Amino acid sequence: MSKRKKPAKKAAKSDPLMSSDFPPHDVVWQTSAWRSRVRKRLLDWYASNARDLPWRSRPGEPLTSPYRVWVSEIMLQQTQVTTVVPYYERFTTRFPTVDALAAIDEPTLMTLWEGLGYYRRARSMHAAAKHICDQHDGEFPTNYDDTLALPGIGRYTAGAILSIATDQRLPILEGNTQRLFSRWIAMQGSLGEKPTMDLLWSVADAMLPQTGSGIFNQAAMELGALVCTPRNPKCDECPVVRMCRAKEQGLEQSIPGKVKRIQYEDRTEFAFVIANDKKDRYLVRPIAAGQRWAGLWDFPRVTSGKFDNVDDAAASIGHEMSGVVAPLKQLATLKHAVTKYRIRLDVFVASVSGKPPKRWKATPPWQFMTKQELVDLPLSVTGRKIAQKLP
């Protein structure tokens, strides 16, 4: 009697998530088990480690209103959280509703925004608030297309507002999450290139849970801000380190790929402090639309970068005043950066002679103001520094 053959043993199933032969980045994030593990560990970490921020609702609490999330997201663009917090609290106290923001005049708005920089954000918010009052009866829209149509709002901001405030299942992609998702899937493409960004948007969308997208999005941003930092990420503190493809492959320092950095150009600009005859008021004017820092006020300043000496710059300002501007002594040198320029600003005390102020041709008109009046004017950062150095 022949012996019955033993059935062949089934090959043990390998766990693709724990294998040393990792799937490529365009496969691993499509694995539902991988996504589920990452979500759980991330959300558990967030529940214990989320910062207490005035625009943030905690799990189990009522969601923050779309208006307040909108204000925070606009302020946080290119600005650190620690800088934003006091501005946000003052702003939302002064303007608790869309209607209140829409009704304010621009100079008052700019005064409250002064110091945050990127003043176009404030003007876009003001325009959006007026649009909301006109088209949506003062209620911030919760429809995605309506939100995206507002001035100053793009895909990321619309997704952030609606997912956080209304729990709509919308992905977000900004600096922190670009870096986080790139490392999770070991994506080595350069940020900013369309194929790379298309892939990351797909990952951001796939990672969302069926409910609680706003909490997930905030958790991902928080992990990127506090742990998965651009340099020297704190991998030993990361809740999903065992799931991170970049860490497993030793690529956490090189991912994401380098973003093209701004190549700054050096230039010299000149500003002038001109007092009235009594030496108790100083010459300023509002900056016209279309110019740098439009909507703010400033001292006489030459920003063209065409002049390399103070006498030529003074002659240019004098032409605007139909007079002769004479530099007397240097008051200060301020250094700052604007767009692609690294600027040295030389500030001079000067006098002006020629036609009386009422006949100066500048538009908008020049005005003499006291130091106290300057305190209440919206000035650029360098303009405020000049005001603080006035004799």
Portion of the chain with pLDDT greater than 70, in percent: 88
Using an 8 Å Cβ cutoff, are 66 and 165 in contact?
Answer: yes
* Residue at token pair 């400033």: 298
**In Å, what is the CA distance from 174 to each residue of 112, 144, 244, 341?**
26, 18, 19, 25
Q: What is the mean pLDDT of residues 50-71?
A: 85
Largest interatomic CA distance in the chain = 126
Residue 358: pLDDT band with limits 50, 70, 90: low
* Residue at token pair 């065992």: 242
197-216: per-residue pLDDT in tens? 999 999 999 999 999 999 99
The two three-digit tokens of residue 213, written as one number? 């997208």
Q: What is the mean pLDDT of residues 67-96?
A: 94
Q: What is the mean pLDDT of the chain?
A: 86
Lowest mean pLDDT across 18-22, 27-31, 215-219? 18-22
What is the set of active-site residues? 73
Q: Which residue has the higher pLDDT, 239 or 62?
A: 239
Beta bridge mates, 286: 297
Residue 260: pLDDT band with limits 50, 70, 90: low
Task: Check residue 31 and give its pLDDT.
Answer: 84
Q: What is the mean pLDDT of residues 179-187?
A: 93
Task: Check residue 152 and give its pLDDT.
Answer: 93
Using an 8 Å Cβ cutoff, are 345 and 335 in contact?
Answer: yes
Residue 62: pLDDT band with limits 50, 70, 90: confident
Beta bridge mates, 324: 353
Question: Which pTM value belongs to this model?
Answer: 0.76
> What is the H or E stretch that residue 220 is in?
helix 213-226
Task: Give dist(CA 89, CA 98) in Å, integer.
Answer: 15
Task: Check residue 215 and give its pLDDT.
Answer: 94
Task: Give dist(CA 109, CA 337) in Å, integer.
Answer: 23
Using an 8 Å Cβ cutoff, are 310 and 346 in contact?
Answer: yes
pLDDT at 3 over 50: no
pLDDT at 294 over 50: yes
Backbone angles phi and psi of 258, in degrees to 5: -65, 140
- Smallest CA-to-CA distance from 274 within 350, 185, 167, 207 is with 350
Task: Check residue 98 and give its pLDDT.
Answer: 96
Sign (positive or negative) of CA dihedral 223, 226, 229, 234 = negative
Q: Which residue has the higher pLDDT, 304 or 242?
A: 242
* Residue at token pair 């501007």: 325
Backbone angles phi and psi of 214, in degrees to 5: -65, -45
Task: Check residue 256 and give its pLDDT.
Answer: 85
pLDDT at 7 over 60: no
Task: Check residue 133 and give its pLDDT.
Answer: 97
